[in-house]
Amino acid sequence: MIEHLIYYQFGFFAPNTHLQPKPDIIGRLLEAFKDKGFIPTTAQELQQIGPAIKTGLQLQFTSPNREWNLAFEPHRALLKKENVGGTGMGSPEDFCEEANEIFDRLLKVNPFTGTRLSYATKGLLPELNPAKLDEVNKRILNLLPFYTKYPPYQWTTRNVARFDVHLGEMTESLNVITDINRVQGTIARDVGPLSFDRIEIGFDINTYQENTTPRFTTNHVGLFLQEAIKQSQNVMVEIESKLNE
């Protein structure tokens, strides 16, 4: 079970998502998100074009505490909820509901047709004692003799699977990516940074990258997120079961 969620993210890929920070565009979006308390802002954007780097501005709408951010990137509108501390991250279903509502409004104002949808999340498992922590990768990996003799204290794994699912009337190829890593770092606390050594779980679930046909509308956002959350929860149950063997 994830104890510390780092972020949730939903991406709506479409060709025209790079909205310019102009008064009429900002005015329409402000009106659409009036009750959300989002404020417009810009971020410096660097685009690599051949050997050169071109700078530009990226329009974003963010909550004042920076928990929520809606960025209008060149190829996708990206909604991210980050753990800023104190407010709680809620469940994936809560995020799904909020993302659905935000994109419903956004697509009414700017009717993009999506070419790809993505859901990603990352979090840390509760602390394990050192012996149990060393056991984890033995359970999920077939280690080389060297690393059996000298157990690694830091490692990453990534598995990508692809299979078909139904989103309403559509059949979509879905990438399900699971990262299981052992990471060390620090968590910022009021009293100072707290070191940790934990298992990090990340999911990146998205529609097949080679299908670039514009086909996703507002109706597909909720269907996709429900499917992605279901798949991530299925994998999570298997991870827990493996760790508790």
Partner 1 sequence: MNESSSIPAPITLSSETRQTAPPEKTDLPTASTTTIEPLTSETSTLTEACKLAQVGETRHQFTDRFLQLIHESEFEYGFSTPADAYVREALNEYSTFAKDWISDLFLKNFSDPFITCAILRVIAHFDYQQMCPQGMIMAVACAAHKNTDVRECCVRCFESWENPDTLSILRSISFSKDWLDEYLKGVISDLERLTNHVVSR
Residues of span 207-236 touching partner 1 by CB under 8 A = 209-210, 212, 233, 236
- H or E element: which one contains 12? strand 4-13
Tally of CB atoms within 10 A around 240: 12
Using CB under 8 A, count the residues that bind partner 1: 80
Residue 84 binds partner 1, judged by CB under 8 A: yes
Q: Is 57 in the site for partner 1 (CB under 8 A)?
A: yes
Q: Cβ closer to partner 1: 24 or 169? A: 24
Q: Is 21 in the site for partner 1 (CB under 8 A)?
A: yes
Radius of gyration of the chain (CA): 20
Closer to partner 1 by CB, 64 or 145: give it: 64
* Using rule CB under 8 A, residue 164 touches partner 1: no
Q: Residue 7 or 101: which CB sits closer to partner 1? A: 7
Query: Is residue 5 part of the contact set for partner 1 (CB under 8 A)?
Result: yes
168 binding partner 1? (CB under 8 A): no
Determine which residue in the list 108, 144, 147, 156 makes contact with partner 1, applying CB under 8 A. 156
Give the one residue of 16, 18, 41, 218 binding partner 1; rule: CB under 8 A: 41
Residue 206 in the binding site for partner 1 (CB under 8 A): yes
Beta partners for residue 5, in sequence order:
123
Asked whether position 241 contacts partner 1 by CB under 8 A, the answer is: no
Q: Is 178 in the site for partner 1 (CB under 8 A)?
A: no
CB 119 within 8 A of CB 205: yes
Of 170, 183, 217, 230, the residue at the interface with partner 1 (CB under 8 A) is: 183
Is residue 188 a contact residue for partner 1 (CB under 8 A)? yes
Q: Evaluate whether 190 touches 243 at the Cβ level (below 8 Å).
A: no
Q: Distance between CA 103 and CA 106 in Å, rounded?
A: 5
C-beta closer to partner 1: residue 86 or 145: 86
Region 90-129 residues binding partner 1, contact defined as CB under 8 A: 90-92, 115-116, 118, 120, 123-124
SS (H, E, C) 80-120: EEECCCCCCCCCHHHHHHHHHHHHHHHHHHCCCCECEEEEE
Q: Which of 111, 151, 168, 185 binds partner 1 (CB under 8 A)?
A: 185
Residue 166, classed as helix, strand or coil, is strand
Contacts 24+ apart (CB under 8 A), 61-65: 61/29, 61/33, 62/38, 63/36, 63/37, 63/38, 63/39, 64/37, 64/39
Greatest Cα pair distance, the chain, in angstroms, is 64
Indicate the residue among 1 and 170 with the shorter CB distance to partner 1: 1
